[in-house]
Amino acid sequence: MSGHLALILHAHLPFVRHPEHEHFLEEDHLDLLIDLALRERKRNRNQPELAELSEFYFELFSASRRFFVDEWKGDLLAAFRQLRDAGALEIIGCAATHGLLPLIQQQSPAAARAQLLIGRDAHVDLFQADPTGLWLPECAYAPGLDTILQEANIRWFVLDAHGLLFGNPQPQRAIYAPCYTRAGPAAFARDRDSSRQVWSAEEGYPGDPAYREFYRDVGFDLPLEHLGPIARGVRKFSGVKYHRITGRKGEKQFYDRAAAEKAADAHATHFVEQRRAQLGQLAAVDVDPILVVPFDAELFGHWWFEGPRFLELFIRKAAFDQREFRLTTPSEYLAMHPTQQTIEPGASTWGDKGHLEVWIDKNSSWIYPHLHAAAQRMTNVANTQKNDSSELNDRVLKQLARELLLAQASDWAFLMRTGTAREYASKRTIDHLARFNKLHDQFAAGQLNEKFLADCEWRDNLFPNLNWRYYCSGGL
């Protein structure tokens, strides 16, 4: 066996909680999907192709409900903990609200530190163990972050390829082995060849004509009155889709599950063979090379419906059908190969063009002066209040930190750029900053409105055990 492959799935969602609305993220979502599938099963009973697909969706949604509600009582984290304890996967950490750390660090090192340490603490609360690895939001790195990662006891993280390749000195093994940073944590680099075969719009697997078409959905194809309560009078994606990609133009053909399964199997085989060939060309590397293959988890199942099946087939084929490489985790690889080069990685992200343009453009640049000012105010108030342990003081400082963390989420700038939810993203940024500044000014003036504080706590109630003293200039 001459190589290793680490598959990493990164999943995060911005904190979306709107208790002021009766319907936002409904707790009855699976029940509503089952209701829609039953309506479709009745509507399509005389159309064989659609009847078969309607039955498929009914069984899929019903099985999902049994798994989520009956088997795991709505606690998917317990399922992940069980897999971790069985040695099937490694669970890694992330920054608290997926804030773009280089931008935060540039103006407020204490706020970048708080993002990482609060995220680390939340991981411990949820999984009863410290994370060994950490997902840097957007793989965004800048010199100095390694010091904070070391403080959080993080042993490794992931960069895009150029973050390692443009390091100083240059890595002797390119991207096929990790490098230690000067502060200690190791940096692994994303393998671009592997990523391109999955992500690329032109050559990636998800564009195969046999796969399910994401954009054709009964939520837009059928009369609103037929959709029932899942629509609530608004056009939106329902998850019931009857067509395959077919081609870039022309009419879409009905989805053929057998053809999609065949394509997933062929693509999994191809992916294994490509990784075998790739690793076979790295014989000159003086340690067993590793391919690090990170993806956004939402690709699998959401955008690419057959993605989870592709992953299952790939993992099975890699484990049983070949011997040229083995599946591993970065932690396991470091334990096997602890001696590595030390470099200073280059500033980088995995965004378009490899830098920060995705999150700083004409649509989003206006937010950063306000975010930086709020971060500085947070550090100042933490410094002045760090020796006050009163309950009310603690509530105020915790809520100030929550509002700042939520405003810093990288999702808002990303959505402003793409335009998919620009108004909502702008409103979220403005609302969190407004609540932060109002609460801060009341507290600083000695005129705290406890009703307003309670309202903020009701709306934005994440991180119940948050340690606001991480924002202090000199640490705790």
The confidence score (pLDDT) of residue 18 equals: 82
Residue 158: its pLDDT value, please? 98
Reported as a single tens digit per residue, the pLDDT across 384-417 is: 999 999 999 999 999 999 999 999 999 999 999 9
- Strand ranges (DSSP E) for 182-323? 186-189, 290-296
What's the one-letter identity of residue 191? D
Cα dihedral value 356, 93, 429, 231, nearest 10: 110
Q: What is the rounded distance in angstroms from the CA atom of residue 70 to the CA atom of residue 320?
A: 33
Could you tell me if 32 and 230 are in contact, meaning their C-beta atoms sit under 8 angstroms apart? Answer: yes
Residue 442 CA: distances (Å) to CA of 156, 400, 451: 41, 12, 12
User: Which position has the token pair 């609200």?
Assistant: 97
Q: According to the model, what pLDDT value does residue 38 have? A: 96
Q: Sketch out the chain's domains with CATH numbers.
A: 1-89+132-355 (3.20.110.10), 360-471 (1.20.1430.10)
Report how far residue 292's alpha carbon sits from residue 159's, in angstroms, rounded to the nearest whole number: 10
Of all helices (H) and strands (E), which one includes residue 146?
helix 145-151
> At 98, phi and psi to the nearest 5?
60, 40
How far apart are alpha carbons 206 and 245 in whole angstroms?
Answer: 9
For residue 181, what are the contacts with CB-CB under 8 A and spacing of at least 6? 146, 149, 187, 342, 343, 344, 345
Q: Which residues in the chain land under pLDDT 50? A: none
Cα(419)–Cα(216) distance, integer angstroms: 21
Number of residues assigned to the chain: 476
Q: Return the number of other C-beta atoms located less than 10 Å from residue 146's C-beta.
A: 22
Output the pLDDT for position 233: 82
Residue 334: CA count within 13 A, CB half-sphere: 19
φ/ψ of residue 51, rounded to 5: -60, -40
pLDDT of residue 285: 77
Q: What are phi and psi of 367, to 5 degrees?
A: -75, -25
Chain centroid, CA 127 distance in Å: 17
CB–CB of 165/174 below 8 Å? yes
- The verdict on pTM exceeding 0.85 is yes
pLDDT tens sequence across 13-29? 899 888 877 666 555 68
Tell me: cis bond preceding 169? Omega within 30 of 0 counts.
yes
DSSP state of 413: H
